[in-house]
Amino acid sequence: MKIAVINENSQAAKNDLICATLKKVVEPMGHEVFNYGMCGAEDPNSLTYVQNGILAAVLLNSGAADYVITGCGTGEGAMLACNSFPKVLCGHIESPLDAYLFSQVNDGNCVALPFAENFGWGGELNLQYIFEKLFCAPGGGGYPPERVEPEQRNKKILDKVKEVTHTDMVTILQNLDRDLVKGALAGSKFAEYFSDNCKCDKIAAAVKEVLA
């Protein structure tokens, strides 16, 4: 699985910690981590949490990433931005229990974490435990056992609802403010990783047009 990390400007200084912790947990599981920035507080390509949502949606809809780890000060803004887009199901995660239940019950493909609120002494340990519980088992397994069938049914229903309530990603990219989208996709890591990992020619063409 390709797992993308995206930080916005207020918490960019924690990027190294987040990436290192994630790699420590998931690389032994066989997953790959791609750091799409911001790569530190001095990264010239500054991202807002809204742009986090745009970037996450481009990566997930194009197949360039299978999962996105993002967040902001509280995690709320990044979660709301990500859930504005099709084929992105983002949970707000504060604890290892949140992570496990979101994975097993909701089977999402994106999480938004609070990297400032309550991120004090032991914050890096909580982050490690969150990643461990998020990826310890394939998503959608269900919990508790007697609820597996209705939970899996509800996830399929939600996916169908999102197909109706969201337009496609190419149309979104064509209609959003061009500078807003360009800023979200202008990072050096995007240029380095996206073209090699993108699986959708239509989205690749739309991205190329935005960045032209």
Query: For 101-160, how does the pLDDT look when each residue is reduced to its tens digit (9 = 90+)?
Result: 999 999 999 999 999 999 999 999 999 999 999 999 999 999 999 999 999 999 999 999
Per residue in 25-54, pLDDT (tens digit) is 999 999 999 999 999 999 999 999 999 999
**Cα R_g (the chain), whole angstroms:** 16
CATH number of this structure's domain 2-211 = 3.40.1400.10
pLDDT at 103: 98
Provide the terminal-to-terminal Cα distance of the chain, rounded to the nearest Å.
30
pLDDT at 175: 96
Strand, helix or coil for residue 92: strand
The span from the CA of 63 to the CA of 66, in Å, is: 6
Per residue in 151-194, pLDDT (tens digit) is 999 999 999 999 999 999 999 999 999 999 999 999 999 999 99
pLDDT at 186: 93
How far is residue 6 from each of residues 105, 144, 187, 210, measured CA to CA in Å? 24, 31, 11, 20
Under DSSP, the state recorded for 200 is -
The span from the CA of 134 to the CA of 126, in Å, is: 12
CB atoms within 10 A of CB 163: 12
pLDDT at 112: 98
Q: Pseudo-torsion of CA 136, 134, 19, 194, nearest 10°?
A: 100
